[in-house]
Amino acid sequence: MQQRVPIVLLALAGFAIAGYLSLFQMNIISSIWEPLFGSGSRRILTSSISHLLPIPDAALGAAGICLMR
């Protein structure tokens, strides 16, 4: 049981970050906080490849985290 706690915490952090980035992709929030990558995250989130699917790719990442067991 104790081995799972760090994994669950990391999964929750990943879900929160992916959810935050998907809010930006859906234009619910107008800017994102980027402490490590400068404007790299904004460039990736607004690229033409990120708009190929009908839903934001960050939302797919959040959904993928929820589906992991």
C-alpha–C-alpha distance, residues 38 and 8, integer Å: 28
Residue type, 42: R
The tens digit of pLDDT for each residue in 7-63 reads 889 999 999 999 999 999 999 999 998 888 888 888 988 888 888 888 888 898 888
The tens digit of pLDDT for each residue in 15-29 reads 999 999 999 999 999
Q: What residues does each domain of the chain span? A: 4-67
Helix (H) or strand (E) segment spanning residue 5: helix 4-25
